[in-house]
Amino acid sequence: MTALSLRALNRALLDRQFLLARTDRTPLDVIGRLVALQAQEPNWPYVGLWSRINGFTRAELAALVEDREVVRSALLRSTQHLTTADDFLRMRPLLQPVLDRTAGSSYFTRNRAARNSATAHGTGLDAASLVAEGLALLGGRTLPRRELARRLAERHPGHDGRILAGEVELRTPLVHDPATASWGSWGNRSAISVTPAEAWLGRPAAATGDGEAAKELIRRYLAAFGPAGVKDVQAWSGLTRLGEVVATMGAELRRCSGPGGAELFDLADAELPDPETPAPARLLPAFDNVLLGHADRTRIIDDEDRPRVMPGSARVLPTFLVDGRVRGTWSLAAGTLRLTPFRPLSAADRAALEEEAHRMLPFVGGTAVTHDDRPATT
C-alpha cells in the first residue's frame, strides 16, 4: 500500500480542484468536476471559478443559471450549493436523508409543535402534511420565500412561518430563482424566491438514492478531492455508513495510506502529480471547496490556523494559498482588497500573492491592494 506524504495529498487536491494550474474547461464542466460549489452568498462561487478557470467572466455563470443548466439549492450538508441541473436531480434523493435529519432537529420540530395559547390554534403539524401544504401553496410556480412563510403562518397561527418555509425547503427539492445566484452586493440576500425543482427543470429528480447512486457519489468525490478516507467523504456529504459502500467497490478503488498511517482510497486510474510541483499563489472565496471537503483538513490548512479561518457562527473566511497551503485571509471593503497573513511572508511569496490580488481586482470591483503586515491572530 502506497504511503502518501502531506505534500503529496496537497498537490493531488490542488490538481483536482484546478488550483495547481487554471483550466480552459467551460464553467459547466468545472462545476460538474467539483460536484457542487458552496453558495450561501451568491458572489463567492464566481470568485471560486475565477481562481480556477482561464478568462472566466461573471456573465458565463449567470447565463448558466438563467438557462437552468445550473441551480442553487440546499444540497450537501443541508447548505446552499450551486450544481449542474443534472447532478442536482441525481444527487438530491441520495442526500435527502441528510436534509431530513436537519429538518428533524429541535429548531424545526419545536416550531411545528408550537401552540398559540391565546387563540388555542396551531396544534402540532406533521412533516408530511407541511410539505404537501407548502407544495400546494407554490402550485408549481416561483414564489418569494417570505410570501410562502406568510401564507403558512396565516394557516397556522402560533407557528413561525419562516421556520415552516425553511423546513419545506429542506424536505422537498426546491430551487432558488436566478436572481438569488447572480452577482451582486457582498452579503447574504434575504429576498429569495423558490420553485419546485421538477417544475423549474421540466423533469423529476431520481426516484431514490440507492447503492449505485452512493457509489457514483464516492467516485465523483474522489475525482475532485481524493485520495481521501471514508470519514472525509462523509464529512463532505453529510452521509453516514459509507464504509459499507466503499467495501463493495473492490478493484475500482486503490488503497493507500496518509500521514500517520490513515487508510485512504482513490480511483484506481487516478494520476497523482509530482509532490514537488510548484503551487501558485491563489485567492479563494469564503466557504471554498478545498477547505470543507475533508474531515482531516491538514492537507490544506494547519490545525492551529483553522480558528482564524473558521471563527464560529458557521463562517469560513476568504483565504489565500501560498505554496499550496492556507497562509492568511483576505477581505474587500470600500474597493480595497486587504491581504492578512497569519505569519510574515518571504519577499518572493509576498510579491507573487500581491500580483495575483491585483489580477483579481477588476473581477471583484476593487481598486487597490493592501498588505497587512501584522500577522492575523485568533
How confident is residue 372, by pLDDT bands cut at 50, 70 and 90? confident
Strand 80-84 and strand 174-176: the pairing is unpaired
Q: Which pLDDT does position 124 carry in this prediction?
A: 67
Sorted by sequence, the CB contacts under 8 Å of residue 334 that are 6+ apart come out as none
- Which tens digit of pLDDT belongs to each residue from 261-295? 999 999 999 999 999 999 999 999 999 999 999 99
Q: Is the dihedral of CA 154, 159, 164, 166 positive or negative?
A: positive
Q: Taking 60 as the threshold, does the pLDDT of residue 188 lie above it?
A: no
Tens of pLDDT, residues 231-264? 999 999 999 999 999 999 999 999 999 998 999 9
Express each pLDDT in 330-347 by its tens digit: 999 999 999 999 999 999
Which residues make Cβ contacts (< 8 Å) with residue 24, sequence separation at least 6?
53, 54
What's the predicted TM-score (pTM) here?
0.93
Q: Is the dihedral of CA 192, 138, 93, 103 positive or negative?
A: positive
Q: For 62-99, what is each residue's pLDDT tens digit?
A: 999 999 999 999 999 999 999 999 999 999 999 999 99
**CA 350 to chain CA centroid, nearest Å:** 29
Q: Residue 114 above 90 pLDDT?
A: no
E strand or H helix at 220: helix 211-225
Nearest to residue 34, comparing CAs of 74, 87, 77?
Answer: 87
